[in-house]
Chain A
Amino acid sequence: MAFKRLKTRLTVTYGGLFVVVLALLVAATCWAVINYATLTVQREMSATSSVFQRIWAIQSETQRTSADLLSRDFGFKTAIAKADQATLRSAFENLKGRVAVDDGLVIDLNGSLLVGANSPIANQVASIVAQDYPVETFAGIQTIKGQAFSVVVAPVLAPDPIAWVVFASALNQDEMGKLEALSSIPLRAALISKRGNGVWMNASGAESALDPIALEELVLDKAGRATIEDGPHGQQIVVATQLPALGQDEVTALILTYPLALALANYQPLVLALIGLGIVAVLVLGFASREIARGITQPVFRLKQAVNSLQSGDRMLVDIQSKDELGDLGQAFNQMATSIREREARILYMARHDLPTGLPNRAAFEEAVHDLMQAERPVLLVAAGMESFDHIRSVWGVEASHQLIAGLGERLRHTGQDWHIARLSPSVIGIAIGLPDRGIGHDPTSIPLDQIATALATAIVVDNKSFEVTPALGFDLATDPSISASDWIERSLIALDQAQVAKLALMRFDPRTYDQLADNLKLTDQLREALDHGDLQAFYQPKFNYRTGQVTSVEALVRWQHAERGWVSPQAFVLIAEETGLIRELTEQVLRAAVADQKRLHGLGYDVCISVNYSGRLLNDPEFCQTALALCAEVPNRICLEITETAVINDPVTGVQAIKRFVDAGVEISIDDFGTGLSSLSYLKQIPAQELKIDRSFVVAMTDGNRERRLVRSIIEMGHGLGMKVTAEGVEDQAAIALLGSMGCDMAQGYGIAKPMPADQLLAFLAKPLSMDLTLDLEKKIA
């Protein structure tokens, strides 16, 4: 059977099972009761049957004794022998009177009746006796014309039988009634008899109402078992006992009957009570199994509901109070639901937070900004970058840097209670502030920006160390909800980039600069393309040697003429090359060009040293250094590498090592842009350079006054002090040339000498004699 509901199944299964068991129990009990009742009645009947036999035995014994007494009487024998009828009869009557029997006979050897010829039993008994020729006394029941008699036959022996004495007493219904009265139960007693293969006849001469086959079995059964037979008044318990018969072809039996209904009547209340009890039990059990089933299915149903709720994301704990397995299941479910919740929360937290600092991350920040913008108020978005973050991280470790950011975040949170703080990148904290609605006179951004700057600039203690960071703030005011929160945040980050590039502490997003930055990206691609196609050219700017009055060296400068852009500013693309790593390719190309041109110059008889700018970054690239060394070796002592004074600051050991290798290979080293790097002299001292180039800003500034001129002079003297030639850059006029010459400067370079030019022009330039006016015209200079 398939039940849709557990409750129904449990109820039907257990209820049904119990009903079956109960039905069996009731059936078994009823069977046992009937059996027991039958057995009890049967015992009673057996007892009654025994009593009957005993009574009959006693009765027949009396008759037997009397018959024996008479048959052994010698006078009686004599009378028979002598056929003395009168004596015989008188002797017989004498005894018969004493014994109180119904009938008496004397039968001779021929079966003739010497006495009692008129008796109703005479003929039948006589024929039996004459035929059987009994030599000993015996008793039996004989039914004659429907009337049962207890008969005793005693032979008259002389010494062979000469006659038989017969006494008989009728066993009528009175006798049976007496027998019935003896029993403790109201049973019915009756005699039945059968002659030959005839039918069983009862005492009244009619055929017995009982089943003849069953009777036959009952009568022949020595054990005296009882059976239940259909009688005229319903079923009855029947016990039959075979009685000794007088004749051999006759069977007589005592039949005791007792109505089954009567036997069971005593047990009827018991059976009824049992059935009643069964009905009550079925009802109780039906109710109980329903309750139990409910007790099981209710929690299951609640669990199912809870699972559904959990699935749909609601928080749902089941409340199962029971202490059984279902209770355990409920608890386990609650634990599971809770742990799922916690894990979910953890995942959500991880998805929305920067784990090292616990600050919200970019995604969470975007959501916050989005929500703020929904309020249709301007949102101030600030990207705060920590300038020295990389330095702190490399020196103090990642953990310290995280703690620093976390601490700053915490401080910002306290500064503005309703600000949204997030970590946008390792060194950048984002702040979103919902501003009061527009229409206020003064700039609403200035106060919070000041607060932020102050909060970030204040020293912070991490691991017992005090840190001071230099924040750069990029910001924008998000007012246009059509631009996504993500884009607004991006703008603040760009603004931060712009501020950092511009080395400003605060900058608002500038679309134009942003465009330029975008252009830089395009330029990078074009530069890469140009490098691939060899579009870049090497120009050479001559240096005037005061000592020889000739041009003894030139600086190779890269120039790029783009098809669309025209001449691209070297400052622009060299910077991009530095940032993108294209500087490698660029430097190599320039170096190759310089080497090639040097060979050409040398071939034409010019002894000119060519300087090539060499990025500090490349000093730390051993592979590239190897390439550069190989190229320089092609033109020994005719290539000079110009490096900035800051080139070795990041990695002094490797940088200085690389420089020494170049020097050892006969490559001159020149310190470029001296004075701008703010490097310490201790570094400078380590660099084994032969040339020091004074930055053009100092040279140009010489016209400003004596102080600037003295600075240049000091640099020259210092260079000489360190054993280096000194070259001045940015020499733009005759006066400067003369002034530097008077200061002892070794070489001058600038528009005042010559502009950078292609190699072909350089050849022409070198071919012409050079005339320099080194006369100092102080008045002119002062004016």
Chain B
Amino acid sequence: MVFQRTNLFQSALWLVSALCSWLVSSASAIAGPLQISVVDGEGQAVEHAVVSVEPAAAVKLKPGDLRGPFVMSQRNIAFEPFVLVVPKGATVQFPNMDRVNHHVYSFSPTNPFQLPLYGRGITRSVTFGQAGTAALGCNIHDKMRAYIRVVDTPYYAKTDRSGVANLVTLPDGAATLRVWHPAMMAQGQEMSQSVTTNRSGNRVVVTIRLRPARAGDM
């Protein structure tokens, strides 16, 4: 669910983000609703970054969290969306909306699977039982590329075009904030840091290093 803040707040974000960044790095306590801005080394907003918060106290995923639906469709010889975030154990639908067949695969160590050639109107599904990332390709179409990020927490979000992601309902207390992006230059393309959440909410700016964009990047 996405909680919309006021416009004023949004527009003021760029101005204050630089000031706040040091607060983030010092792991100061933050309010319940958490807004995370992801920027690259040049200060540009980064879309398709997945942010997730894992409270220090272990949180069990409830069945409701896995309800979905989680869809990775194939349309116009491309995956949609480019990045999909699902909680661990969720089942993702792979509907083929093209007239051609696709052969979706993932060789990711955590969630390898193959959906051999299937045609239009057919929807396959895969359940992702392991937290991690599945890089999706199509054996027929080399250019097709997408990622499914599987997180072991109910608190996750994906940055929009302005590089912003909002986490609305968070428990108070210490937590680990993880940021993942498919082109991030880091082990497993993710980075994490400790945060403390509280009711009053807070804003976090995360700076990441990206590989040069390649063909197929959304």
Contact = CB atoms under 8 A, between A and B. Distances in A.
Interface stretch (B1-9, B132-140, B172-180): B132-140
B187 to A, nearest CB: 10
A158 B107 contact: yes
B112 interface: yes
A521 interface: no
18 contacts: A72-B142, A74-B139, A77-B107, A78-B107, A80-B107, A81-B112, A82-B107, A133-B211, A157-B137, A157-B142, A158-B105, A158-B107, A158-B137, A159-B136, A159-B137, A159-B145, A160-B135, A160-B182
A464 B136 CA distance: 158
Contacts of B112: 81
Contacts of B43: none
B107 A135 contact: no
Given A158-B135, A160-B135, 18 more contacts: A74-B139, A80-B107, A81-B107, A82-B107, A133-B211, A135-B214, A136-B214, A157-B137, A157-B142, A158-B107, A158-B137, A159-B135, A159-B136, A159-B137, A159-B144, A160-B145, A160-B182, A162-B107
Nearest to B103: A74
Given A81-B112, A135-B214, A159 B139 contact: no
A419 B173 CA distance: 172
Interface string A157-176: 11110100000000000000
A621 B112 CA distance: 175
Interface in A66-105: 72, 74, 77-78, 80-82
Contacts of B137: 157-159
Contacts of A81: 107, 112
- Which one of A81, A135, A159, A162 has the highest number of Cβ atoms from chain B below 10 Å of its Cβ? A159
B142 A159 contact: yes
Which 9 A/B pairs are nearest by Cβ-Cβ distance?
A: A81-B107, A159-B137, A159-B145, A158-B107, A135-B214, A74-B139, A160-B135, A158-B137, A159-B135
Contacts, number: 28
Nearest to A135: B214
Interface residues of B, number: 14
Contacts of B145: 159-160
Nearest to A80: B107
Interface string A498-536: 000000000000000000000000000000000000000
Contacts of B135: 158-160
Contacts of A135: 214
B68 interface: no
Interface string B98-117: 00000001010000100000
Nearest to B189: A160
A162 B107 CA distance: 9
Contacts of B139: 74
Contacts of A158: 105, 107, 135, 137
A390 B107 CA distance: 165
Contacts of B216: 159
A157 B135 CA distance: 10
A534 B139 CA distance: 178
Contacts of B107: 77-78, 80-82, 158, 162
Contacts of B182: 160
A80 B107 CA distance: 9
A367 to B, nearest CB: 130
Interface string B121-137: 00000000000000111
